[in-house]
């Protein structure tokens, strides 16, 4: 019985470590390749979208719904200026390599490719 519970604890620890790894890998600022200046920054469980040409930045927390090793499924919440918040569509993020991700809306597939900013 002790071996089983030890294995179960090890399995849970490995699963939790996997979630942290994907989130940690995502940390930083990414710039959209087809729209220079459009960035998304992930830091401390929050994301910030900034748009070029005077677009209003949007931000809020996000939850990792799934971490499959090759990418993440996140559920962002947008914080509105009047103190309200709005649950946004889930986003599927795939790690192409250490410097490239794709981020697409999980419902309709819209999105793009982002490069890590130095």
> Which pLDDT score, from 0 to 100, does residue 101 have?
98
Q: For the domain made up of 2-116, give the CATH fold.
A: Lipocalin (2.40.128)
> Which pLDDT score, from 0 to 100, does residue 4 have?
61
Kindly give the residue spans of alpha helices, DSSP state H, lying in 2-56: 2-26
Q: Measuring CA to CA, how many Å separate 112 from each of 19, 27, 55, 109?
A: 23, 18, 18, 9
Q: Measuring CA to CA, how many Å separate 70 from each of 3, 9, 10, 49, 97?
A: 31, 24, 22, 22, 9
User: Quick check: 75 pLDDT over 60?
Assistant: yes
Q: What is the DSSP letter of 33?
A: T
pLDDT tens digits, 28-71: 999 999 999 999 999 999 999 999 988 889 999 999 999 998 99
Rounded distance, CA 49 to CA 55, Å?
A: 10
Distance of CA 15 to the CA centre of its chain: 17
User: Quick check: 16 pLDDT over 70?
Assistant: no
């Amino acid at each position: 019985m002790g071996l089983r519970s030890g294995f179960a604890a090890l399995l849970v620890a490995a699963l939790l470590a996997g979630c942290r790894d994907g989130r940690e890998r995502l940390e930083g600022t990414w710039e959209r390749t087809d729209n220079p200046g459009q960035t998304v920054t992930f830091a401390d469980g929050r994301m910030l979208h900034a748009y070029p040409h005077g677009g209003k930045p949007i931000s809020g927390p996000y939850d990792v719904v799934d971490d499959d090793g090759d990418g993440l499924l996140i559920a962002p919440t947008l914080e509105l200026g009047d103190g309200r918040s709005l649950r946004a569509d889930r986003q599927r993020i795939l790690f192409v390599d250490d410097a490239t991700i794709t981020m697409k809306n999980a419902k309709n597939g819209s999105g793009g490719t982002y490069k890590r900013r130095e």
